[in-house]
Chains A and B, each alone.
Chain A
Amino acid sequence: MANSVLTLEKINKVYGVDVPNQVLFDIDLSIEKGSFNAIIGQSGSGKSTLLNIMGILDKPTNGTVTINGIRTDQMKSDQMAQVRNRTLGFIFQFHYLLPEFTALENVLMPYWIRGEQVGQSEKQRAKDLLTRMGLEKVMNNLSTKMSGGQQQRTAIARALMNQPEIILADEPTGNLDSTNTESVYELLREINRDNGTTFILVTHDRRVAEMADRIVEIRDGRVFLDVDNVAQAVPSAT
């Protein structure tokens, strides 16, 4: 695909050496720039592993991952770190904030890692992101002094801080109630529309999947279904 930002070719993943356990089988996927994708599947189907491989957090046993035309297996570790910092944004199932830092500092962290001076405009952007998440009152709290929902929304703001091209989210609303879930998805969709950010979401939530442009179902480590923009065609996801 000419317009793809992320391409997977023949991805296999085997865990264990003595007792090998193959989780992914020959996955081919190409993610279009600016698209909103949902990856669904039962637990243990390999969807989170797939997401980690896409985000170069994990290495495939064989097969290649290409991000913006560059093969990740040919990248050095610092180059991978740079791609994770600038091109990718992660939202994890368990919010994973740094407990030693405040909400605002957690959001600024990707920018600090980037190694550039944090000026007033960056600080303002971080504050705006937190305000958009409804966290203006707790932004100076240590992350341990916030509710689960607040932490999760902080993690989303953090993923957006460096304005990455691709956001990878693993059950980003797994710990949120339905009102919060809806507002978070509306926000993600809005960012997708306004900034052209590509989203890849792993989810159990059928309603979330229905909002996506494209739905990929993983079953037993293989692509079982790959459909475009057809909410009505979503098969029964658990």
Chain B
Amino acid sequence: MALSLKIAWRFLSANKNQTLLIMLGIAVGVAVQVFIGLLIQGLQKNLVQTTVGNSAQVTVSSTREDRYILTPNDVIAQIEEDGELQGQLKVVSGVSDSPVFIKLEQRDVSGFLKGFDLERAAQIYRFEERLEGNMPLEPNQVIIGKVLAQENNLSIGDQLTLTVPTLVLFSRNVQVVGIFDLGVGGLNASWIVTNLPTAWDIIRRPNTMSSIEMQVNDVFSADVVATRVKQILGDGFKVSDWKTSNADLLTALSSQSVSSIMIQTFVIIAVALSIASVLIINVVQKSRQLGILKAMGIRDGQARMIFLNQGLLLGVGGTIIGLAMGIGLILMFTTFARTPEGSPVVPVFINYGFIALSSAIAIGSSLVAAIIPARRSAKLSPVEVIRNG
């Protein structure tokens, strides 16, 4: 072991209470940092997931007057085969939709017919997980939203008559084979989901799409993907992304991040200041030992290293305790803070990168905090100590 590390270790272990106190100080700082950091990250991920996790993140529509995309398969192929977008897209799915009237016995209600390529759309909307009944795989089968079903006393097996407003003379009977709950009231109250051939048949626009929906791997790069898609497709198409349409949410998220970073920064500064002040006192406490060591020929650089090593040891020790405390707190929080359904209020993701970064910052700050005391120790003249006894 290097001499300065050995001396640093002895200095710290000779004064166990003081060492433990300062380590606890660092540990509390690290724990707060890890806890708040992971909690905010969990909150944000959860919020983003709830908002856009189960909906289209980038949507392509046509600028034609009748708003139909006439060659949807070409458009999808163009997007999927683009080199720059490789690895960025989770799923690309065409949808053919139209407002419809649902003729009931007493009255008509309006709904929104969505014809999906069900295999692809399932990756976006996860119908299977949110469905009572079956998927509408056969012609003239539909599934409807929970609210729509409740408000109109509809259940699985019922027949509906759908009419497109522009084609009032034409209507089609369909059968409800399932009831879904997408977790969003508006969709649950209006959507009638079916397969593409059925939708084309009802809307009378075979082989066209109203829009092409995409999910991306990194939700926060949706705007970049949208820009690229617009570039590929050129004029005649409108590309929108969730970030642009949810600017307020993004502002909220980023101000939350900023306040979280602010808290973490001040905690770290407080920790660094406390380490620095303890180590400065330590230089005074150990000035006699430093004087003796210098009389024995320890170099100024080695004397400096003693205090840098003390900072390092305190930082590493405090960080290890702090990580255990912080992760423990987070686990307690997710275990005990639960919604009535039994799922955690905030599902927390243990982000190893963030934990490693927090640890590095804490240890780095401990080292920086040790610089002033280290400099003082190097400047200390041995004769001061020898002469003053």
Return the contact of B297 from the options A84, A96, A100 (Cβ within 8 A).
Answer: A84
Given A84-B294, A113-B296: A98 in contact with B386 (beta carbons within 8 A): no
Return the contact of B300 from the options A55, A77, A90, A100 (Cβ within 8 A).
Answer: A77
B205 within 8 A of A: no
Taking CB atoms, residues of chain A closer than 8 Å to B10 are 98, 100-101
User: Is the Cβ of B383 less than 8 Å from the Cβ of A96?
Assistant: no
User: Is the Cβ of B301 less than 8 Å from the Cβ of A96?
Assistant: no
A134 within 8 A of B: no
A86 CA / B296 CA spacing, docked (Å): 9
A90 CA / B386 CA spacing, docked (Å): 11
- For A97, the closest partner residue in chain B by CB is B292
Minimum CB–CB distance from B319 to chain A (whole Å) comes to: 24
A34 within 8 A of B: no
Return the contact of B383 from the options A52, A88, A98 (Cβ within 8 A).
Answer: A52
B293 within 8 A of A: yes
A228 within 8 A of B: no
Taking CB atoms, residues of chain B closer than 8 Å to A48 are 387
A58 CA / B382 CA spacing, docked (Å): 8
A78 CA / B301 CA spacing, docked (Å): 8
User: Is the Cβ of A99 less than 8 Å from the Cβ of B3?
Assistant: no
A185 within 8 A of B: no
Within residues 55 to 102 of chain A, which ones have a CB less than 8 A from any CB in chain B?
55, 57-58, 77-78, 81-86, 88, 90, 92-94, 96-101
A196 within 8 A of B: no
B 275-297 to A, binary, CB cutoff 8 A, 1 in contact else 0: 00000000000001101111111
Minimum CB–CB distance from A111 to chain B (whole Å) comes to: 10
- For B15, the closest partner residue in chain A by CB is A100
User: Is the Cβ of B297 less than 8 Å from the Cβ of A57?
Assistant: no
Name the residue in B11, B14, B299, B300 with the highest tally of chain A Cβ atoms < 10 Å from its Cβ: B299
Minimum CB–CB distance from A154 to chain B (whole Å) comes to: 12
A110 within 8 A of B: yes
- For A87, the closest partner residue in chain B by CB is B297
A109 CA / B4 CA spacing, docked (Å): 11
Contacts between the two chains (Cβ within 8 Å), count: 76
B298 within 8 A of A: yes
User: Is the Cβ of B3 less than 8 Å from the Cβ of A113?
Assistant: yes
Taking CB atoms, residues of chain B closer than 8 Å to A58 are 381, 383, 387
User: Is the Cβ of A86 less than 8 Å from the Cβ of B297?
Assistant: yes
A114 CA / B297 CA spacing, docked (Å): 8
Return the contact of A57 from the options B6, B288, B295, B302 (Cβ within 8 A).
Answer: B295
User: Is the Cβ of B298 less than 8 Å from the Cβ of A81?
Assistant: yes
Minimum CB–CB distance from A156 to chain B (whole Å) comes to: 14
- For A86, the closest partner residue in chain B by CB is B297
Minimum CB–CB distance from A164 to chain B (whole Å) comes to: 10
Taking CB atoms, residues of chain A closer than 8 Å to B386 are 52, 57, 92, 96
A101 CA / B292 CA spacing, docked (Å): 13
Within residues 132 to 181 of chain A, which ones have a CB less than 8 A from any CB in chain B?
158
A 115-126 to B, binary, CB cutoff 8 A, 1 in contact else 0: 100000000000
B389 within 8 A of A: yes
- For A110, the closest partner residue in chain B by CB is B296
A77 CA / B295 CA spacing, docked (Å): 12
Given A57-B386, A58-B383, A98-B289: A77 in contact with B299 (beta carbons within 8 A): yes
Given A81-B299, A81-B300, A113-B296: A100 in contact with B289 (beta carbons within 8 A): yes
- Residues in A lying within 8 Å of B, measured CB to CB: 48, 52, 55, 57-58, 77-78, 81-86, 88, 90, 92-94, 96-101, 109-110, 112-115, 158
- Residues in B lying within 8 Å of A, measured CB to CB: 3, 6-7, 10-11, 13-14, 288-289, 291-302, 381-383, 386-387, 389
What are the 3 closest A-B residue pairs judged by CB atoms, nearest first? A85-B297, A84-B297, A100-B10
- Beyond A77-B299, A83-B297, A93-B389, 18 extra complex contacts between A and B, CB < 8 Å: A52-B383, A52-B387, A57-B294, A57-B382, A58-B383, A78-B300, A81-B294, A81-B299, A84-B296, A86-B297, A90-B296, A94-B389, A98-B292, A98-B293, A100-B7, A110-B297, A113-B297, A113-B298
Between A and B, 30 residue pairs with Cβ closer than 8 Å are A52-B386, A52-B387, A57-B294, A57-B382, A77-B299, A77-B300, A78-B300, A78-B301, A81-B298, A81-B300, A84-B294, A84-B296, A85-B296, A85-B298, A86-B297, A88-B297, A92-B295, A96-B386, A98-B10, A99-B289, A100-B10, A100-B13, A100-B14, A100-B289, A109-B293, A110-B297, A112-B3, A113-B3, A113-B293, A158-B296
